[in-house]
Amino acid sequence: MDARETSKILKKIYFWQLISSVFLVVVAYLVTYFFHLSDKSIVPGQTVSVVVTTLSGVMGIAIPIFYRSFFVYRLKGKKQISRDAFVSFEQTLISIALTAPYFLVISILMNMNQTSNMLIAIFSLYAIYYYFPSEKKVLFEMKLFRIKPIKKQE
């Protein structure tokens, strides 16, 4: 398995998770618009807004950093890791990071303030951008983790 094949596998996971979260954001906006949820004077308290916004940042930025550090710590002293372990690590990393857009769905349905919505959107966009598994990034990480590409037999 080379970087191109690995990138294809990871992109499939990435896009399925991204499409489902975008779909839910659109549905949340439609539900809010058609059922006039934003017209209600009941809004969540400041504490709820802060907690949801913080959780979005933690899931989109902090936990992926800690998970990557933990993975590197586990590999300390190993000369090489298996491709399956690397792909599993990348899949988990993408899955963790792409939970951030789901907090936008919660924010929209709870009618949270616009500052919280914007912060959650920024955290989500960061996770969407930074964890995109491009072939170039996958190749770099494979070199970083000392994964040798398999040469194709002719």
In the prediction, which pLDDT does 81 show? Answer: 86
Band of pLDDT at residue 151, cut at 50, 70 and 90: low
Token pair recorded at residue 12: 């499939």
Mean pLDDT value across residues 9-31: 95
| Tens-place pLDDT, residues 65-91 | 999 999 999 988 888 888 899 999 999
Residue 44 near residue 111 (C-beta atoms within 8 A)? yes
Close Cβ partners of 57 (under 8 Å, ≥ 6 residues apart): 100, 119, 123
Token pair recorded at residue 95: 């899955």
In the prediction, which pLDDT does 82 show? Answer: 87
Nearest in space to 57 (alpha carbons), one of 141, 12, 120, 130: 120
Whole-angstrom distance, CA of residue 6 vs CA of residue 22: 24
Domain ranges of the chain: 3-28+45-144
pLDDT at 149 over 90: no
